[in-house]
Amino acid sequence: MMLLLLALISYIFLLGSVFLLLPDFWRFLIRKTFRTGVPQTFVDLGQIATTFVTVCCISVVGILFYKFSVAFTAHLLSNDLVSFFIQSRGVYKFNSDLQSPLSFDNLVTGLLFTPALQFLASYLIIVAIRSVMMRFNSKYGEDKFSEGDVLCFGLVSVFLIMLTEVIFYTQKISGLSGIAHLLYLAADKISTICYFLAITHIHLLKTTTYRISLPSYTTLNAVESKVIFSPIRTVLLTYGLGVCLHVPFFCGAQFYEDTLSVAMVLLLCTGSFFFVLRVMLSKGFNYLGVVMLSEKPEYLLTTGRLISQATEITIWICLAVLSVLLLFLKPEVLFFLLFFIATGACVYIFIHIVTYLSGYTVSVLWAKKYHRAIPNFQVAAASRFLGWMAKVTLIAIAPMFAFICSAIVVFGLWPVKFHNQNENYINSVVDELGNPIFIESKGLNDCIPIAKSEVPEFFLKCLFIQEDRDFNIQYALSPNLSNWHGVSLAMFYRFISGGGGSNLNAQLVKNNAFQRSFPQDVQRKFSEAIASFQLSFQSHPDQIVTQYLNRVGLNGGAGHSGVSKASLATFGQPLNKLNALEMMYLISTLKAGSVYKIGDKWIKTRDTGLYRNEVRAALLSVARRWFEQDLITPQDLANLGSADLRFINEPFNTRSETTTNEFLKKEIDKTPLKGKTFVTSISLLNQRKVTTAYRRFHARFQQNIRLGEYNLYAAALVVDVKKGHIIAHYGGEGVTELTRFSEGNPVGSIIKPFVILEMLEDGWKPDQIKLFDGRLNDRLTPNNYSKRFSEKYVGIEKILSVSLNAPMANISEITDPIDLFKNIERRFLRMNISEDRSLNFSDRSKRMEYELNYPLGSRRMTLYEIAQAYQTLFNDGNYIELTSLLAAYDPDKDTTTNYTVIGKEVYGKLNTQIIRRALEKTMLPGGTGTHIRDLLPQNKRFYAKTGTSDQSTHGYTVLCDGQILVVTWTSYGKVEKGRLELNETPPIPFGSGVRTAGVFGAMIYSELQKN
């Protein structure tokens, strides 16, 4: 109602301006209206009233023609449905990219075409009115209607157009901007008067009497004479005036954020408007009233038709052919058209019957009052008259009516494409149970996209009950109230009464066009309806509701958009884990944005947790009303009654380690997909267990965690050997992800199994690989961990189980070590393990260095690459690329892309089994893994490899039960200049990989085995 009041204020201001600018014209209208005295005989006022209503009906069709012609122009110029909506609405502002008046399409449609189309609509309305009156005179053989009547009745239509436009565009804007909006709107719509007067003037120029009379009643200079007596110049000047009056409203000068700018522009426009209109109306068209007052309008009547009778017949034939084609191509569009045509016809007939009977009744009462003779009422004659009026009206509006029908057909058959480009979409990662593991952040109103198939049925039920009860039947052939092919029949009534009324189709369009605030004007609703109509004919309901749920803001929408993010921010739970009452609450927050109504009280949505019981009571009250209306079942009501609200109302945190988030982000970056939901093999439960294991590790090494300026760092990967899936990750406590840190670190004894394995691959038999545990020929030989040599030749199991160093340095005794190392590197490349750029086996000067250091683990690898190598080893030599991503889900298309990796054989199965048997000895007494045996389940077989490197600065442990592989690393490090440094650091505790990294790995494994 407030909008109607503002529209009325603007309209009164508009009429007052016209009255002041056209005083003689108004005097003519008043004298024309009230010149008739009391008739001496019975006069059928029903015919006059019916003619007046006919003029109003023609005006309504003309308004629709204007609206649909603007929409059709936008349809031709726009490249997507949102820009179509903006252009057909015709309101622009500089602080919005989509609504910028400087956009070429907006400029053409809004500034140039809109005034021209309004001019055209005014012309067609006047021609239609004249056509009806001419036929009336021809039918009854008398000059009942004159050119003066055309002018008077035409002005009625103009005032009706202006009133409609003012109502359509009025917005509730406070302060000076509101005053500016009303002024610009009124000035813009005054142009309709100018168009009408220009058309009337041009038509009257065809008569000699009018052309002769003009110089007698107004003083014209040479320039003015050239303009006034030239129809083309008059049209161009009037169109230019209309564009000028339209500029401030088109540019959105009332929407400037700076009040001073609004005031300055308002002052400038007020002066300009007054000057231009004073010259154009008072001097340019006021003489029409002077001529009409002085001359007899009856002598000015002219004849003519807009289109010939043959053209009219052609139009109706084309409409009939179009209807037949639609019946086969798109029956929905045909039934849609037929419904609105039938509805309009019924309204027209009803209004005309009521109007005629009311007018006739007044005539009877008037005749009785003045004792005039009253003829008998003849139903047949009245019916013939009304039928004839309907016929001539239909003929008069045929061109406009045909265009409107054609435009609707075009919108239905060739809708402007809707491109759902949601810049707020972010990637997210969930485990196989749907628990969020990682959520990307852009710092905007981030949205985790979701598909309709993922949304609980009760959530959708609540959504449809509250927002769009006919959403799922919008494609029905018969009409429904809230959504019939995207059009809400109740929308305009509910909007005027304060209820909004936009269905889901319309809300999706406006949510894409606007950000946080939605302008309240009827024109927006009209444009929404046409855009929603087109959306309905190109999108399946599942697509519409999916895109809607990913765009809409719930529970205030602070820092998030879409239902998934709202669920997490409001209750800390994914949507599929909310109870019925929580789902209903989220839907209820659609109504009022950042505030929530409890009874007569409004509260901030962020404070709803403080009013938990009151909110719950309000929701249950609504639920009971729904139940009484048979909208929900008894079970639904029971579920609501037994549920509670678990508010958190704060940004959701997955509570994953920062390093795990970084790890997953890098995994996602490998794919070209954006705005998708990825399913990971890393489960929330496993991550919690790994975190528990680290806390145990931290508590055990409490005295060693900090050493001067150094901190003890740890990292771990847990892998499903057969599938290559990473099922748990720990990348460190800080912000640096350590499983893929830099180019890796020297791996130490971790590489030894692969050196021996390569010898087996080269054709050596297990019993042929005997290496000397001691110093050969006084050559430089590294110490074993025990600081002593056995001075014996030892086999594979002995070398690997106790991780001997000396035998590995003596490989040259039985084979060329450099060729062996090259072969190892080639196999690493087949496993996508990056090269160590510090190695150059072609450099002969470093041959002895490589022979000594490479088999002891000088080669650098990341923990991730170590896990990859051992996955291949424990998988019988079959390489499967490690991955933490199982699938990518596209909610918009409701499709899932599964990631499948085809394995390839890198090592022979028998050879890997030989190495595995040796690594099993590691866990037996005397092996390097015995320190952690007590931390592991006693009834399982384990394979392990431990190692240290760089003078015990890095410690590693590889632990596997044949199915699950745990790879861990520890090292001291310090942060310098924002970067973690791991070089030249102190030795790890005990100088042992197994007693640090091994303990961590065993704790992880034992935690993973717990239920």
pLDDT digits over 683-706, tens only?
A: 999 999 999 999 999 999 999 999
Distance, CA of 81 to CA of 66 (rounded, Å): 20
Using a 10 angstrom Cβ sphere, with 0-12 exposed, 13-18 middle and 19 or more buried, the burial of residue 593 is: middle
Residues 555, 589 contacting (CB under 8 angstroms): yes
Mean pLDDT along residues 227-238:
85
Note if the pTM is more than 0.85: no
The mean pLDDT of the chain is: 85
Token digits of residue 1005: 């494994």
**Residue 300: predicted pLDDT:** 38
- CB atoms under 10 Å from CB of 950, counted, come to 17
614-644 pLDDT, tens digit each: 999 999 999 999 999 999 999 999 999 999 9
**Residue 287: predicted pLDDT:** 62
Distance, CA of 651 to CA of 593 (rounded, Å): 17
Distance, CA of 322 to CA of 837 (rounded, Å): 74
Beta bridge partners of 968: 716, 957
Token digits of residue 131: 């056509």
Can you list the pairs that 357-363 forms with residues at least 24 positions away whose Cβ atoms lie under 8 Å? 357/46, 358/46, 358/49, 359/44, 359/45, 359/46, 359/47, 359/48, 359/49, 359/50, 360/44, 360/45, 360/46, 362/45, 363/42, 363/43, 363/44, 363/45, 363/46
* Closest CA relative to residue 671, chosen from 889, 454, 447: 889
| Contacting residues for 662 by C-beta, under 8 A, at least 6 apart | 731, 735, 737
**Residue 159: predicted pLDDT:** 78
Rg (CA), the chain: 42
Residues 197, 285 contacting (CB under 8 angstroms): yes
pLDDT band at 299 (very low <50, low <70, confident <90, very high): very low
652-668 pLDDT, tens digit each: 777 788 899 999 988 88
Least confident of 154-163, 543-552, 565-574, 701-710: 154-163
- CB atoms under 10 Å from CB of 250, counted, come to 22
| Contacting residues for 20 by C-beta, under 8 A, at least 6 apart | none
| Contacting residues for 174 by C-beta, under 8 A, at least 6 apart | none
Comparing 545 with 379, which gets the higher pLDDT? 545
Beta bridge partners of 436: 430
Token digits of residue 961: 């039960």
Residues 245, 276 contacting (CB under 8 angstroms): yes
Would the pLDDT of 290 be above 70? Answer: no
DSSP-derived pairing of the beta strands 895-898 and 885-890: antiparallel
- Cα distances (angstroms) measured from residue 386 to each of 46, 345, 374, 390, 573: 10, 13, 20, 6, 66
pLDDT band at 333 (very low <50, low <70, confident <90, very high): confident
**Residue 561: predicted pLDDT:** 84
